[in-house]
Chains A and B, each alone.
Chain A
Amino acid sequence: MVKAKKLKNNVKNLKTVSINNLSHFYGKNENKKQVLNEVNLNIDKGELVLLKGPSGCGKTTLLTLIGALRTCQSGDLTVLNNQLNGASRKTRQILRRSIGMIFQGHNLLRCLTAEQNVQMGADLIKGLTYLQRREIARNWLSAVGLEEHHKKLPNDLSGGQKQRVAIARALSANPKLLLADEPTSALDSVTGREIVTLLRKLAKEQNCSVLMVTHDPRITDMADRILNMEDGKIYGAHSELI
């Protein structure tokens, strides 16, 4: 209980994502393979950062570590003022409530309508009534341009619409950090830019940091910083400002 309260306070005092000499390995003994090689990275509050790099270079592993989905093996990782080295399962679970995640495969719940899917994110906010949570869901759906589709099931939505529902769901939980894996890959250029504009607006207005893995050249001009990753190392982490 005390730990959870402390964590909540830490989230309130959020400053940055801080990574020092982070390494990560898969497999054991002779099959052991290093995917992250002493990565160093800082993300400031309200910053929109793009992460680029070839397949298998370690981008997704980095996202899962920052998203508190995996345990750290080596180096220091601090997310929203929470040291994740040796963090318990419970600590990581509570921290994840402050991190919004947008997956490439949408991962919407097929049995829920667009509105209900978004509300699953809002349901994580404590102290709100059902109607308030539904209102939040509707507002975010409206923000991504899907207010007319709120009763539709995922199977009745196009790929782009599903992606926008997934984005609305991630945003509805009022995150302090947003991790996105190719969020615009299924969207046309206009919608893609609209979504990134929305994410950028959120980053600036709500001091929400955004780390986005993308290969989409149409949106690179909207980032505060672009990082290149190769062979488990990040290049241009502190310098390449747009």
Chain B
Amino acid sequence: MSFSFIKFRKIPLAWLLLTRQPLRLAVAIAGISFAGILMFMQLGFRDGLFDTSVTIHKLLDADLVLISPRSKSSISMSGFPKRRLIQTLAVEDVEKTAPVNLNYLLWRNPENLKTRSILALGFNPSDSLLLDEGFSKKAYKLRNPSRVLFDKLSRPEFGPIEEWFLSEKKVETEVAGKRVIVEGLVELGPSFGADGNLITSRETFLRLFPANPPGSIEIGLVKLKKGSDPEVISRILNNSLPNDVRVLTKNQFIEFEKNYWKNSTAIGFIFSLGALMGFVVGCVVVYQILYSDVTDHLPEYATLLAMGYRLKSLFFVVAREGFLLALFGYLPAYFSGQILYSVIRSSTKLPIIMDADKTILIFVLVLVMCMGSAAVAMRKLVDADPAEIF
């Protein structure tokens, strides 16, 4: 193997051409890395938005979800009659149901007394709301009025709730101008729509938000018997229930939320455009570097052509330069991306992660960026006239 390597080894012309001017190479790497970091950040935010927007959706203990047809997303939910949920029990495969109220209420930070909007979920503590096994114990505490469970992953602007609660200090504050006591902590996570979350009983929810009609709910959770097909039951329910309610499987409910952010708002487009800008900036940087490199070395390329080297061989040299630039530019972008993701996670609590899909996608984009720019720069090579060097 090593023998073959030595046998077919050639002078690393592309590498030597690139490294002859270290400053220019450093500028090129910085430019490509910057473009890579920009793409990592934009796609990270975009994916983070889509992931965080469905954090609670994923945690709900349900096979089917009932919502109002007028609901657009978790930040714009409309109510529907609670009796529609009870009607679903007429279908044999339905095991149990759980009505849920959902709305944004004003939370007062108990430390600095400033108010901030928080997403509140109201449910019957005897029902199963979340997939978390330890949740039912915490939910039991909500049977007493004015008790809430606070999401400890909420942004710090809501106050040092976790710290106070763990120090066994009684955490009392106001929600929608009414006094509440924090009885426990849960882990849900903020989203682009909500900086924080709280869970309470329906009774407390209706007290905090008296404008909400008692017979109206925003979400109806339906748990099916084992072996039932959610798709089939969803179709049956959609056909049998009136038009003032819509039945979705849990996956459809998750997609419903994601689609809102993707299609109904400019956020997805903005982040994709940001990533595209990074790509274009990178293309311009690499093209400038490779074009000036080819122009600088044109007499040398012409000499090689005069010696009998093929134009195709010289194209490969430029292509290898493009590949090397992609590699050297991507690595700093990847490691910087990891650090920045970590900073964003700790400061915003958004679950922005460097997953394999993103890692590969951005490497491919950087590679396309460099090889595409190399391909355009190669056109200059055609100007290398070996007859002109005598």
A residues at B contact (CB < 8 Å): 60, 63-64, 67, 69-70, 93-99, 101, 103-105, 107-112, 116, 119-121, 123-124, 129-131, 169, 173, 181
Report if B281 contacts A (CB, 8 A). Answer: no
Besides A96-B386, A107-B300, 9 other CB < 8 A contacts?
A60-B390, A94-B308, A104-B390, A111-B16, A120-B307, A124-B307, A129-B7, A130-B6, A131-B6
Closest CB of chain B to A213's CB: distance in Å? 9
Chain B's interface size range is 20 to 34
**Chain B min CB distance to A94 (Å):** 7
Are B9 and A130 in contact, with the CB atoms below 8 A?
A: yes
Q: Is there contact, CB below 8 Å, between B6 and A111?
A: no
- The residue that A120 contacts in the complex, of B7, B11, B310, with Cβ under 8 A, is B11
> Of all chain A residues, which has the CB nearest B9?
A130
Tell me whether B20 is interfacial, beta carbon within 8 Å: yes
A-B contacts at CB below 8 angstroms, number: 78
A64 neighbours in B (Cβ, 8 Å): 387, 390
Are B20's CB and A111's CB within 8 A? yes
Contact status B11-A112, CB under 8 Å: yes
Interface centre among B300, B302, B304, B307 (most CB of A within 10 A): B307
Cβ-closest chain A residue relative to B300: A109
B55 at the interface (CB under 8 A from A): no
A93: B residues at CB distance < 8 A:
305, 308, 310
Complex contacts, B305 vs chain A, CB 8 Å: 93
Q: How far, in whole Å, are A64 and B309 apart by their CA atoms in the complex?
A: 16
Interface residues of B (CB under 8 A from A): 6-11, 13, 16-17, 19-20, 297, 299-300, 302-310, 386-387, 389-390
State the main secondary structure of chain B at its contact with A: helix
By beta carbon, the residue of chain A nearest B296 is: A110
Pairwise interchain contact A96-B7, C-beta atoms closer than 8 A: no
CB of A188 to closest CB in B, whole Å: 24
**A95 and chain B: residue at smallest CB distance:** B308
Contact yes or no, A130 B10, CB < 8 A: yes
Nearest 5 CB-CB pairings of A with B: A97-B308, A111-B20, A96-B308, A107-B303, A69-B387
Shortest CB-to-CB span from A152 to chain B, Å, is: 14
Give every chain B residue within 8 A of A110 (Cβ-Cβ).
Answer: 20, 300
B281 to chain A, nearest CB (A): 28
Residue pair A96, B11 in contact (C-beta under 8 Å): no
Q: CA–CA, A218 to B31, complex, Å?
A: 55
Q: How far is it, in angstroms, between the C-alpha of A135 and the C-alpha of B356 when the chains are bound?
A: 47
Contacts of B11 in A (CB 8 A): 112, 116, 119-120, 123
**What is the chain A residue whose CB lies nearest that of B18?**
A111
- Given A110-B20, A111-B16, CB of A96 within 8 Å of CB of B306: yes
- Which residue of chain A lies nearest to B306 when distances are taken between CB atoms in the complex? A101
